[in-house]
Structure 1
Amino acid sequence: MKHIFKTENRLSGKNSNGYRTNFFPAIFFGNHLVPSAIFIFTINVCALFAQERSAPKSLIDLQQEFVNLHFGMFIHYNIPTYMDEDWADPEASPAIFAPVKLDCSQWAKAAKEAKMTYGCLTTKHHSGFCIWDTKTTDYNVMNSPLKRDVVREYADAFRQQGLKVMLYYSILDTHHKLRPGWISQQHIQMIKDQLTELMTQYGEITALIIDGWDAPWSRISYDEVPFADIYRLIKSIQPDCLVMDLNAAKYPADILYYTDIKSYEQGAGQHISKEENRLPALSCLPINGSWFWKTSFPDTPVKDPKVLVDDNLIPFNRAYCNFILNVAPNRDGLVDDNAVEALKEIGRLWHNTDPLPQLPPNDGAIISTNIAKFKPTNSSWSDDMHIMDFANDDNFRTAWRSNKSVRHPWIEIDLGTEQPFNLITIAQGGEKSNIRKYRIEYMQNNQWIPLLSNNSEKSIKVDRFNQVWANKVKIWVDEFASPPIITEIGIYNEIK
């Protein structure tokens, strides 16, 4: 593995989660310890945040504020811009990243003319090239011909136009071999150090959009790179920063699994229900035919501004969904003229006068490790091949189905040793709310103890309760409209 620096904590008094290690790393070059430039800078920034930051807002308030932003600019600009591909060669030389007219203020002015309220820049895409002045790897913009911190210039330019700043960051990193089969503790530390830089050096970050994590195509699980640790790190630095993982390819639309905002990538076939959505959401689409700039873009028509407004922006906003339109700067570092004109036309067509609906209450984000995943299961008689093992296989496209002849179905998860937990989710397949009434028991000291009963009509049941310890959990279905179909059972120990 190339270009990863080893970090070491040089301060006492880190908290129980070890997050202070990430704030103040020293860096080894070979066997020589060199004080990190992050050290002094982070002390100053954290002190500033402590003085200026008020009490954190509630998650539902932050979600409402996000929805109220209506419309923003996604900016895919990174080393793939210079390769005519969306996925760059992981060994591409920094020498090709050589814009001669880079002007982030041009991007910001174009966003303002479209009546956008924020931007979101690809700080690091899947090939691992960092377009900020990072101390974690030499595979970054400061070793390119540009030698300028693009993230800083972007953040300054968008704030100058009164626009909020969001950042995109990829967990998948093919240059540093941060991919399945290769992931190490050094990788995880690099992620934490990079996110610490992004969260401390560029002012208030409204949202961090994370990609390449627990998606079917990236295959990096929330266990290999622990989601809860990364989530709490971000919130420990900027509590009001929304953490958004682009994971809709895997998780159902009814609940916020591992994200503060539900995301939909239209080009990947992910489409929000404009009629049924009740969660804070984001829908993304490129104004061109792909995310990063291609040599064909200047001469190829962009998407119709009227269609973008009438079929995307307006109806999405009415469905609690923010719309983010990708505009890809070219190799000079500028947005092409045809895209600039389309953004102006959007600004003329869209009047931004519709009042937005108030978000209904939701069950909150689930961020903890699912301790039920892949554990041994048992159940009453199953339907054909759809046996109990499909209820906790980390796949929402498979399911345990109860046999139609069973009057009182049950399913049991064996956790092995007694473990603490305070949250259980039951995700159903098939018809919504086919489970009408259910109860849950847990085994402690070889005795079954009643935990709760519920008659929730939701397709995904979410039950939070005071922490208990158990080695087994059993779910009884007492009433159902049709034989139960359970796609995934989750058991979690949330940190409160």
Structure 2
Amino acid sequence: MIKRYLLLSIAILCCTSFAFSQKRIGYEKPGDQEKRLAWWTNDRFGMFIHWGLYALPARHEWVKKYEKLTNEDYQKYFEQFNPDLYNPKEWAKAAKAAGMKYAVITTKHHEGFCMFDSKFTDYKATNTPAKRDLIKEWVEAFRAEGLKVGFYYSLLDWHHPDFTVDKHHPQQPANNSDTAYARLNQGKDMSKYREYLHNQVRELLTNYGKIDIMWLDFSYPGKNGKGHDDWGSEELMKMMHKLQPGIIVDNRLDLDDYEDGFDFVTPEQVVVSDWPTVNGKKVAWETCQTFSGSWGYHRDEDSWKSPNQLLQLLIGSVSKGGNLLLNVGPTARGLFDYRAKDALGAMGEWMQLNSRSIYGCTQAPDEFKAPPGTMLTYNPATRKLYVHVLVWPFGKLVLPGFNQKVKYVQFLHDNSEIKYLGRENQGSNDLVLTLPVKKPLVEIPVIELTLR
């Protein structure tokens, strides 16, 4: 994923309005986008999987950049890559048990290594001791569990000989001088890499059946950067929609000038404070988050989020009309490590009882304000409002302005009734819920309100 110093700028871009001309690439009719996104905005919760050669050094997926490794330095990981315990059926079952409805896997990350059997390179899983198309098995396993499938593909490639050295490249010159870049890029031809990129995306969207999501990462236009011209983004978008008319695509192709240049925005590793807008209009969005501080498997990294924090990320996203894509970084042997399994298990335990407050839900109508220590989600089809209680109150919970708007209240985890009383006779329009003094044995209790 992108470097940390870019995260704030991405978040600001995604969470504020900005103007763009109403140009269109023109691969579909206006209004078709909402139909393509319908399943995704309903399902709300997906699994991201970052897996590649970087699982062997186990020091972050950007280890090649951070340690300025050459292709020759990195070759030992290619020669040793043999995930002998890889069983994508187990991954798919874990994702489903956690309450996830779709998944996105790295087919190629910035290191340039392909997890799939591409005819355009020898730098692929089938030429390692693994000797397998790892993506083919993964797609089949996740589809078998009823999960939608998506491909992450890095626009960057630190292995390809024609990918020019830039500010994110492992061989970035220390002085960043134009002369140094020119010397390093002598003989490189980005047009050849661009053709390679398009050929591989075509393979991914042709050889594996129906693909639901294409997650391309990432653009950084400007001096010593790369943007839509480098990737051929307009042509790439047209090709993807021609090959897979129902596919949805993220916003990292540097096509913000086009009304149909993306389907959803992607604030990364940030808590979104308000529903993101583009040109003053709310847009579909998904925050991608990690269990810890790394996307790829990082053996010694120890900043793992608690189950409560992870649930708040999920609830908070839905409460502002968005999705959560939660990342797992498998080990080099092909397993989810114990910390990932524990986190997924905790999410699944909560979702088993409380998923009605997530699936099909969105931001609550403006007339309903969340009391302190709570978050609201709303299902417009069932007219159910959900109060997620983050801080347990002492016996009473006051819902300001809710009186005369509610006809039944219950806990979601067991459907047990909650008694309530209006305060209209006291000059108030509040609703007061009578709660047990002791918090229920649920990580974050949810109260379901049936509206009048």
- TM-score calculated relative to the size of structure 1: 0.56
Match of 1:178 in 2: 163
Say if 2:137 is the partner of 1:162: no
Structure 1 residue 353 displacement after superposition: 0.8
Letter in 2 for 1:82: L
Match of 2:48 in 1: 74
Cα distance, 1:218–1:293 mapped onto 2, change above 3 Å: farther
Taking the aligned partners of 2:322 and 2:221, their CA distance within structure 1 comes to 21
Structure 1 residue 70 displacement after superposition: 0.8
Do the aligned residues in 2 keep the contact of 1:141 with 1:147 (CA within 8 Å)? yes
Do the aligned residues in 2 keep the contact of 1:64 with 1:280 (CA within 8 Å)? no
Cα distance, 1:183–1:61 mapped onto 2, change above 3 Å: farther
Match of 1:306 in 2: 308
Describe the SS at the equivalent of 2:194: helix
Taking the aligned partners of 2:272 and 2:325, their CA distance within structure 1 comes to 13
Structure 1 residue 308 displacement after superposition: 1.1
Cα distance, 1:163–1:173 mapped onto 2, change above 3 Å: same
For residues 120-153 of structure 1, what are the alpha-carbon distances to aligned partners after superposition, in whole Å with 9 as ceiling and x for unaligned? 1110001110010000011111111101111111
Describe the SS at the equivalent of 1:139: coil
Unaligned segments of structure 1, at least 5 residues: 1-16, 18-54, 361-496
Cα distance, 1:82–1:244 mapped onto 2, change above 3 Å: same
Taking the aligned partners of 1:96 and 1:215, their CA distance within structure 2 comes to 35
Aligned with 2:135 (options 133, 140, 151) = 151
Do the aligned residues in 2 keep the contact of 1:90 with 1:127 (CA within 8 Å)? no
Taking the aligned partners of 2:327 and 2:70, their CA distance within structure 1 comes to 23
Do the aligned residues in 1 keep the contact of 2:293 with 2:303 (CA within 8 Å)? no
Describe the SS at the equivalent of 1:262: coil
Do the aligned residues in 2 keep the contact of 1:76 with 1:292 (CA within 8 Å)? yes
Match of 2:349 in 1: 348
Describe the SS at the equivalent of 1:264: coil
Structure with the largest fraction of strand: 1
Do the aligned residues in 2 keep the contact of 1:302 with 1:342 (CA within 8 Å)? no
User: For this pair of structures, how many residues does the alignment match?
Assistant: 299
Describe the SS at the equivalent of 1:131: coil
Cα distance, 1:301–1:220 mapped onto 2, change above 3 Å: closer
Higher RCO (Cα < 8 Å, 6 or more apart): 2
Structure 1 residue 271 displacement after superposition: 4.4
Cα distance, 1:271–1:206 mapped onto 2, change above 3 Å: same
Aligned with 1:133 (options 117, 139, 156) = 117
Aligned with 1:189 (options 181, 190, 195) = 195
Letter in 2 for 1:262: V
Describe the SS at the equivalent of 2:325: strand
Structure 1 residue 96 displacement after superposition: 2.6
Describe the SS at the equivalent of 2:104: strand
Structure 1 residue 160 displacement after superposition: 1.4
For residues 368-426 of structure 1, what are the alpha-carbon distances to aligned partners after superposition, in whole Å with 9 as ceiling and x for unaligned? xxxxxxxxxxxxxxxxxxxxxxxxxxxxxxxxxxxxxxxxxxxxxxxxxxxxxxxxxxx
Match of 1:26 in 2: none
Letter in 1 for 2:60: E
Match of 2:5 in 1: none
Say if 2:236 is the partner of 1:236: no
Structure 1 residue 301 displacement after superposition: 6.6
Cα distance, 1:247–1:134 mapped onto 2, change above 3 Å: closer
Unaligned segments of structure 2, at least 5 residues: 1-24, 167-184, 366-452
Structure 1 residue 227 displacement after superposition: 1.0
Letter in 1 for 2:251: D
Cα distance, 1:220–1:343 mapped onto 2, change above 3 Å: same
Describe the SS at the equivalent of 2:47: strand
Say if 2:203 is the partner of 1:202: no
Match of 1:45 in 2: none
Cα distance, 1:358–1:246 mapped onto 2, change above 3 Å: same
Match of 2:38 in 1: 64
Do the aligned residues in 2 keep the contact of 1:141 with 1:148 (CA within 8 Å)? yes
Match of 2:284 in 1: 280
Matches within 5 A, 1:414-433: none
Aligned identity (percent) is 31
Cα distance, 1:276–1:219 mapped onto 2, change above 3 Å: closer
For residues 77-135 of structure 1, what are the alpha-carbon distances to aligned partners after superposition, in whole Å with 9 as ceiling and x for unaligned? 01111122322345122213222211112211111111001111110001110010000
Query: Which stretch has the larger CA shift, 228-237 or 89-98?
Result: 89-98
Match of 2:323 in 1: 322
Say if 2:76 is the partner of 1:101: no
Do the aligned residues in 1 keep the contact of 2:139 with 2:149 (CA within 8 Å)? yes
For residues 244-294 of structure 1, what are the alpha-carbon distances to aligned partners after superposition, in whole Å with 9 as ceiling and x for unaligned? 13479x979xx968321111111xxx5433356521001011112211102
Matches within 5 A, 1:243-262: 243-246=249-252, 258-262=261-265
Query: Which stretch has the larger CA shift, 118-127 or 93-102?
Result: 93-102
Aligned with 1:211 (options 197, 203, 217) = 217
Cα distance, 1:320–1:105 mapped onto 2, change above 3 Å: same
Letter in 2 for 1:178: F
Taking the aligned partners of 2:70 and 2:141, their CA distance within structure 1 comes to 29
Letter in 1 for 2:51: Y
Taking the aligned partners of 2:272 and 2:118, their CA distance within structure 1 comes to 36
Describe the SS at the equivalent of 1:200: coil
Do the aligned residues in 1 keep the contact of 2:142 with 2:148 (CA within 8 Å)? yes
Describe the SS at the equivalent of 2:242: helix
Aligned with 1:86 (options 61, 71, 84) = 61
Do the aligned residues in 2 keep the contact of 1:302 with 1:339 (CA within 8 Å)? no
For residues 436-492 of structure 1, what are the alpha-carbon distances to aligned partners after superposition, in whole Å with 9 as ceiling and x for unaligned? xxxxxxxxxxxxxxxxxxxxxxxxxxxxxxxxxxxxxxxxxxxxxxxxxxxxxxxxx
Letter in 1 for 2:287: S
